[in-house]
Every structure is written in structure tokens, then in C-alpha cells.
């Protein structure tokens, strides 16, 4: 049964949103290589947060003013099943310094969040 992990990432504030997007897109193949074929996601769908036209430091928000939303990327890692997602987690933990070291140049790793999600059955 397919298994999906939602990822929320905040960019390094020294980078513009465009620089972050380019750097993250270049980072993904390296991360996949580090975790290996047996643990890499089948697909990674990325959504970069749009910015407000009136204040580019804020996300385009349809509720409140967006100040409480600190993420620049919402991604979905899709795995064949939960066991592959667990392997990914294990490989990530084994190689955390290498993976997080590369990511820390472009993102605020300590703010990142990964959560398991499931598709609605209705």
C-alpha cells in the first residue's frame, strides 16, 4: 500500500525564494543517491510557497496575514509502502550529517517537519 510523507521546509533566510527553489531542486538527486535505491521515494512532488505581492517576505495567505506560516516548501515523498518509508528514515538517520549538512546550506533544518499522511478514502 503506497505511503506518503509530507515535508515542510523553511529556506535559509540568506537565500531568495528563487535561489532556494533552484538549490533545493539540485539537492534532491544528491539526497536520493545517499539513501540509495532501496530507500528512495518513488516520487517527490514539490510545492514552493507563493509570496504576497504586497510583501514578498510573507506567503500568499488566504487566512490571517501568513506571519505564522514559516515554510517555503511543502513536498510529498511517495513510497511504495510504509516499509520503504521506514528504510528511508533509517538511511536518513545513518547519513544525517551528510544529508543535513548539504541541506543546512539552503534550509533551516531544525525547522523542517516530516509527517506521515494518508489520502482521503471518500
Gap between the Cα atoms of 16 and 11, Å rounded: 8
Output the pLDDT for position 63.
82
In this structure, what CATH number is given to the domain that contains residue 90? 3.30.70
Residue 3 lies in a domain: no
Arithmetic mean of pLDDT, 75-99:
92
Gap between the Cα atoms of 40 and 85, Å rounded: 8
Arithmetic mean of pLDDT, 81-86:
94
Residue matched to cell numbers 509530507: 6
Query: Cα-flanking dihedrals φ and ψ of residue 86, to 5°?
Result: -65, -40
Residue 25 pLDDT level (bands cut at 50, 70, 90): very high
Residue 119 lies in a domain: no
Residue 118 lies in a domain: no
Arithmetic mean of pLDDT, 86-93:
92
Residue 107 lies in a domain: yes
Say whether pLDDT at 64 is over 90: no
Residue 98 pLDDT level (bands cut at 50, 70, 90): confident
Q: How many domains does the chain have?
A: 1
Gap between the Cα atoms of 30 and 46, Å rounded: 16
Q: In the chain, pLDDT over 90 holds for what percent of residues?
A: 64
Quick one: three-class SS letters along the chain? Answer: CCEEEEEEECECCCCCHHHHHHHHHHHHHHHHHHHCCCCCCCEEEEEECCECCCCCCCECCCCCCCCCCCCCEEEEEEECCHHHHHHHHHHHHHCHHHHHHHHCCCECHHHCEEEEECCCCC
Arithmetic mean of pLDDT, 39-61:
90
Domain around 74? 9-111
Residue 15 pLDDT level (bands cut at 50, 70, 90): very high
pTM of the model: 0.87
Amino acid at each position: 500500500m503506497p505511503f506518503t510523507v509530507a515535508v515542510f521546509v523553511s529556506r535559509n533566510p540568506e537565500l531568495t525564494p528563487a535561489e532556494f527553489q533552484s538549490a533545493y531542486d539540485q539537492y534532491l538527486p544528491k539526497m536520493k543517491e545517499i539513501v540509495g535505491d532501496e530507500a528512495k521515494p518513488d516520487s517527490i512532488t514539490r510545492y514552493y510557497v507563493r509570496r504576497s505581492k504586497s510583501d514578498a517576505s510573507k506567503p500568499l495567505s488566504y487566512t490571517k496575514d501568513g506571519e505564522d506560516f514559516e515554510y517555503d516548501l511543502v513536498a510529498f515523498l511517495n513510497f511504495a509502502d510504509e516499509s520503504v518509508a521506514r528504510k528511508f528514515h533509517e538511511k536518513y538517520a545513518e547519513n544525517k550529517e551528510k544529508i543535513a549538512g548539504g541541506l543546512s546550506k539552503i534550509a533551516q533544518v531544525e525547522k523542517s517537519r516530516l509527517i506521515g499522511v494518508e489520502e482521503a478514502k471518500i
